[in-house]
């Protein structure tokens, strides 16, 4: 595995990747202007790795661990109930997969990353999602009410299954932490055969 750079580029507390389609993500979500990776720097990292036989596996964690994204796009997010320190000085947010705007946003997001990072896989995290956060969204509550015997956990599963379909549109396969696979399996559903589960703790 020494030929793979798993670049966990963004997380709940910072979004340092500058994007042409969404410059506001890094402008508002990075720690500071100096704490960003420009488009040119991202391309340099990929090329430096390629010349040395190293693949760059980019991780952009969703639907949880993404509070930093919400600083510029709060309309796509639902705010979690207060639970201590959390992210950004006391709050956490989770992206709302029941909004069509979420999928339009992610479509453009994947389109740009697929053009810059040539690896077949993109790592989408998917771990440690507090599903109770979804309940703060009226759109989620309507979605759950419209599904037979649905719960908030099904919203998480819906995101995980749909995001694979969207990634495939851009010729990307998805790797996630094992939590997403466990949730999908518990719901009696499956992910594509080329999906990869990344285990970070004993199961």
Separation CA 14–CA 130 (nearest Å): 19
Q: Tokens 């959390």 appear where?
A: 86
Q: How far is CA 98 from the centre of its chain?
A: 15
Picking from 125, 115, 112, 118, the residue whose alpha carbon sits closest to that of residue 22 is 112
Separation CA 166–CA 173 (nearest Å): 10
Picking from 101, 106, 149, 157, the residue whose alpha carbon sits closest to that of residue 131 is 157
Provide the strand spans (E) within 30-159. 55-62, 77-79, 93-95, 121-125
Picking from 117, 126, 119, 168, the residue whose alpha carbon sits closest to that of residue 3 is 119
**Contact indicator for 144, 197 with CB cutoff of 8 Å:** no
Q: Exactly one of 24, 47, 75, 128 is catalytic; name it.
A: 128
Phi-psi map region of 104: left, alpha, beta (phi>0 left; psi -120 to 50 alpha)? alpha
59 assigned to active site: no
The catalytic site residues sit at 128
């Amino acid at each position: 595995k020494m030929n793979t750079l798993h670049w966990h580029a963004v997380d709940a507390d910072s979004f340092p990747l500058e994007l042409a389609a969404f410059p506001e993500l890094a402008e508002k979500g990075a720690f500071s202007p100096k704490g960003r990776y420009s488009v040119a720097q991202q391309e340099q990292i990929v090329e430096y790795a390629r010349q040395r036989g190293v693949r760059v596996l980019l991780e952009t964690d969703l639907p949880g661990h993404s509070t930093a994204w919400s600083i510029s796009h709060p309309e796509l997010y639902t705010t979690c109930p207060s639970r201590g320190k959390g992210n950004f000085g006391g709050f956490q947010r989770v992206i709302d997969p029941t909004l069509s705007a979420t999928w339009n946003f992610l479509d453009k997001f994947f389109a740009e990353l697929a053009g810059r990072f040539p690896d077949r896989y993109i790592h989408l995290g998917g771990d440690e999602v507090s599903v109770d956060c979804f309940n703060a969204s009226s759109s989620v509550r309507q979605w759950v009410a419209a599904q037979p015997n649905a719960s908030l956990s099904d919203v998480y599963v819906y995101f995980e299954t749909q995001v694979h379909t969207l990634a495939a549109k851009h010729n990307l396969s998805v790797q996630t932490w094992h939590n997403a696979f466990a949730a999908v399996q518990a719901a009696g559903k499956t992910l594509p055969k080329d999906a990869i589960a990344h285990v970070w703790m004993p199961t």
